[in-house]
Structure 1
């Protein structure tokens, strides 16, 4: 689905005014135009203690084109799963939002905002299935040649890794996958850190490209 054109956002995301801290703003709203404009300028929403906060990590976790590390065991695991795209967005985000998960942060407002973005063609998910059952996946926002990953889950070993591998194979050799922050787990898959200035400098050439086709 081609993303629906959005009206201008009433909010201004100006990196020149941001502090040297991961959290760069408070407030605004979760309208589709606001969220997409934030991503275009290097920020993303993540609530904390009921407040709507906007983040642009000083050290950004990214998966560079061709940078994913794929072990033999992951290749073997990939053969176990069927991959589907955009067939169960609500199920994927609900699994990611499960409050029983450590560090769960996706509240009802965030869930509803991204479901709406999916309906408008901006948010997408990649699903890993086993015998037809949804057992892993990820979701995020696609803006031009940028895929900004939000969260992933798995209920079977390697299912989320396989979903990430499938995403990388689908976005193509010139896209950048943003994962927000690097973790030891993501580093083992090839995620590296860019400083904020490098990330922001790369955005204009990425977000103004034609939309990604994940099919």
Structure 2
């Protein structure tokens, strides 16, 4: 019979089963799935105000106007804003607003304008903040604002956001057509050029989107 002390020594010397190794940070990182901007937007439209066509149209107008008001307020200027809402159809003659399913929202402000380098990021990058448009706007929806309206238009019509901006009378106006790269959340510039624009200062943004117009009672 083996003495108790010998048994204990033998048990201590015997190889122990290896504990199952946990995943390293790198391995866990590989298993995590990156959610694209478009996927997040589609799943959370109801949080951003784009859950149905009627509400989406109202939200897009509100975001564009809020964007213009914020820019003028930050520059210490009295806001002067023009809002245009146009029904868009397949043929040369647009349908009545009450029957249309696609609209073009255009908002023009005569505020400080936006420097050329900032335009694509402000209008085609979600959660982008700058000295002109803060990450959390004083009025904007969820801090996402105008770029979310452009994203909705892009997902529902495939059309880019069109922007004209000018920062002063003695500098040229810049025209952009931009979309969001939905995988990288970065702006894609489809077109940019200098143009003649009657306004000496300000910004114009146009978004084509699916919507429904309903008069108030």
**Greater strand fraction, Structure 1 or Structure 2:** 1
TM-score range, shorter chain: under 0.3
TM-score in terms of structure 2 length: 0.27
Q: TM-score, normalised by structure 1?
A: 0.27
